A = this chain, B = another copy of it.
């Protein structure tokens, strides 16, 4: 079965935003075993969008349109798709009510154009939007399926996973299943080298590596007549990958992020954690706190951006800052120790570095970051060199901090429990 993406939005044609939806949808569709030959981007223009949709309907089985479902005048994806598919727009009462509730919950009054979002193509399957006011729609026209999705990624992604994926899965006779082995603390090239023989020998299941910031994901995908048979093909490969990467595998669950695996590990070992951040400015705490239920393990954290704050809140010694500087192994270590003490946590992670774009020197270039981790008083400090923009350096530092915290906890408990050296 073939799928084709049509992204709608003048802001894409003007280059105001990067089309992350296309990559997201393409990856999900590939995972479902759908073949994608074309992706098209057109503006909020009835004629050109209509032509693109007609063309797509003539050559692909499933057309995913994203964007242009908003309340404003230039949002016309729904109107155009209805016209091309020969459907009328009719008031969809549940959507009207949902819009009403959405605004009431916010204590706001909808404007006239908001109601436009409740007008949907007759006979379409309506997809609820839990993160906005634009419902999605699936239209079936003979053998072709036309799926309308909202443009904002935080609306599109949950809607695709909740409603469209199960629908598409139901259309295919073959089942495609995949499992992802998620690895932290190993670079992409090294990970690829470690599995090259498996990739070269692959047929079914197939194996593919994906680099993420500070992580590598290895996806194992199998095709079979049913889910059970597919999972049976996947299982031995996942087992092999786990044995090759050992403790660096943090999860094989689809919805487990690195931060979730860290929160789970803290919970399992009955530990609390705190963060003392300089260059990352709160991002590390924010990632931990984004895990639902993080409050059990995370109580408080500090951002000590200035040297004074590092001394005052974490007890970093003036002499340490003077002798080694704020970006140093010694300062990172004192930050972690001080944070564990002041914020009364079993574990503490401290991050200090040069995020750039300015402030780099020959000795301490932009991208140099020290991360210290204290677990029940045992402190580990590591030095990192990250590349890229200020934002990229900070994101990389946060991922590395989570990976370090994870490995320090594992090491601490492996020693405590089994008395092993590693």
Contact = CB atoms under 8 A, between A and B. Distances in A.
A122 B194 CA distance: 32
A290 B208 contact: no
A414 interface: no
Contacts of A210: 11, 16
B38 A26 contact: no
Contact of A13 (B37, B71, B102): B37
A402 to B, nearest CB: 13
Contacts of A15: 22-30
A14 to B, nearest CB: 5
Contact of A189 (B40, B71, B152, B300): B71
Interface string A282-306: 1111101110111100111111111
A10 B37 CA distance: 8
Given A289-B281, A394-B290, A154 B26 contact: no
- Identical copies in the complex: 2
Interface residues of A, number: 112
A193 interface: yes
A17 interface: yes
A286 to B, nearest CB: 4
Contact of A285 (B40, B41, B282, B300): B282
Given A23-B19, A37-B45, A38-B40, A102 B387 contact: yes
Given A105-B367, A130-B389, A286-B394, 18 more contacts: A11-B210, A15-B26, A15-B27, A15-B28, A16-B23, A18-B19, A37-B43, A38-B40, A131-B388, A281-B286, A283-B283, A289-B303, A289-B305, A290-B390, A290-B394, A292-B356, A294-B305, A302-B302
